[in-house]
Structures are given as C-alpha cells and as structure tokens.
Amino acid sequence: MHDSVRDAFLPFNEPMEGRVRFMYLDVKSLVSTGVGNLLDADDPGNFGSNPQPLADIFTLGWFDKTTTAAADHTEISAEYQNVKFSNTASKPLADKEAITRLRITDAAINDLVSHKLDSFENSLRQRADFADLDQWPADGQLGLFSMAWAMGPLFKFPKFQAAAAAQDWLTMALECKMTEAGNPGVIPRNVRNGLLFTLAGWMADPPPGDFTQLVFDPTQKLDALMRSGDFPIPMNLGIGLQTALETLGFDPHGLDGVLGKNTRTALNAFQAAHGLPPTLSVTSINNVPRQTRDVLLAQLDDKGAAHFGDPV
C-alpha cells in the first residue's frame, strides 16, 4: 500500500462512516463501532440470530462513559447483546447512543482501522485478480480498499475482478458500483469509488504521474475537488456530466454524482441551447444520447476544458 493511501484512508472514510465511540446497529442490523468497523459475527444470510461478537470487540479497551472504569468481558458481551437485539438499525445515531454505556477512545479507533486495513490488504493481495495491487496507482488502491471496507475483502464482483486483472480502469469504474437499494448510504462511496478508478486510469493512460501519490484529495469536499482543475473532467461518470454542465454555464445545483431533477434540468437547458432533442429521464451518463455527448465534448474543447474517459 502506498503511504499516501494509508494516510488518506481515515480522512476518506470518516465523512461517509462517521467516527463512533460506542456500539451501534448498522443499516444491516450488524453491530459496529469506530469508522464502520464490524463487531458482529453474524452470517450474511442469518442476520440477527448470532449473539456472539467478533473477538476484536474484547481488544478495544471499553470503559464506562460515566465512571471511566474499564469494562470486563461480561460487561462488553452484555453491551453487545443489548445493541444486537435493540431493533435500532433504522434509528437516528443519537437514539443508538442513548442505549449504550460503554465507550472506546479515538486512539483505539485509529488502531482498529489500521489493523483492519492491513488485514484487508493482505487478503486482497492474495487474490489472483489483485496480484499486482502493489503496483497500482494510489487512486486505484484506495478505490479497492474502499470497496473492501464496505463489503469485506472477499467480495465477488466478477466483471470488476476481470477488469482489475487486466487493469482496465474505466471498466473498473463502471463495474465497482455496490447495490444501493435499501442502503442509500452507499451512494457517496459508489460515486467516489468510480472517480478513484477513473483517476487511476488517467494516471496510467498516461500523464504519467507519480503512481504513489493520490490525485483524489480526501481533505477537500467532493464539489471543491471536482472544481480544483487538478485533473480532467471524467466524462465516463455522472459527476463528470454535472461538472461539464457547470463548466459550460448550465448549473446542475451541485456536484455529487446523483443525477436527479436539477441535473436533468441543466442538461435539458444545454440541449435546448444547442438545438438537441431533450432527454427527459437521465439516471446515468449512459442515458445521455450520443449526439448530446458529442456536443458537450466539443463545447468543452472550445472552452479549453480538459476531459478524460469520454464514452465510446
């Protein structure tokens, strides 16, 4: 793993996962803590039935939030079971916190994240599709670790894995999308992962640049990053469409990669301004007609705005 990826991992993940010092029930009814760290030993097909936690839970230095007294094995197990069967998966975080009394320190969270990241890296490196992981551009490494963080390092995405083996970055950007139905919290991660693999492709195209350094800057908000000029507009992505429209003076009211009403309004305004048929329903860059995409690219060229990953 490149040092830049290790240094960026927490800043990248915390805005999506939060930093939680107590046990809570996540959207899948699995007990977690820290920065989306699973404590739950449940079988994926058997949620809610296993009262036993992962062994990691007993290594985190839990203490009573009021007295600061260290919690013993029995207290930690009792807290776990209380959270596990609390039916709070869909509750606000404040409600989840209210039923707990044990806490861990920020240092314990940092150590847990570091340990898990190392473990995931070792597991991923042993998979044939990711055998060249050490030589990947930093953005590609971070994208893969992000997927593993959300799904575990043994996830099965056959088309993505085949593309990874060939280092076909733009196909990886297309095929890295995790299921969003019932879990809208994964949408920001999908948007960022697609951008990470696209940036890896741009670095490998080449420029080339220094593969050990990230192009994606996790210290910036996503919209600021897209406006930074640090890389070409990624025209294989929804967020690239939004950026192109904004660059050309058609405001999508946000650069978030979610192609909703405001993006469609901006796209329709662009189409009307250039005598193009309107597209009434756009949910991805692939729904944009070829003629519209060609005019978008030509207008970006006229403006001197660099772009990459143009749909074929």
Spatial distance between the Cα atoms of 162 and 265, rounded to a whole number of angstroms: 37
Q: How confident is the model over 154-201, as pLDDT tens digits?
A: 999 999 999 999 999 999 999 999 998 878 889 999 999 999 999 999
Q: What is the pTM of this model?
A: 0.93
If the chain, 312 residues long, is cut into consecutive pieces of 10 residues, what is the mean pLDDT of each piece?
Answer: 97 96 92 93 55 87 98 96 94 97 98 95 95 96 96 94 97 95 89 98 90 96 96 97 98 95 96 94 90 96 95 70
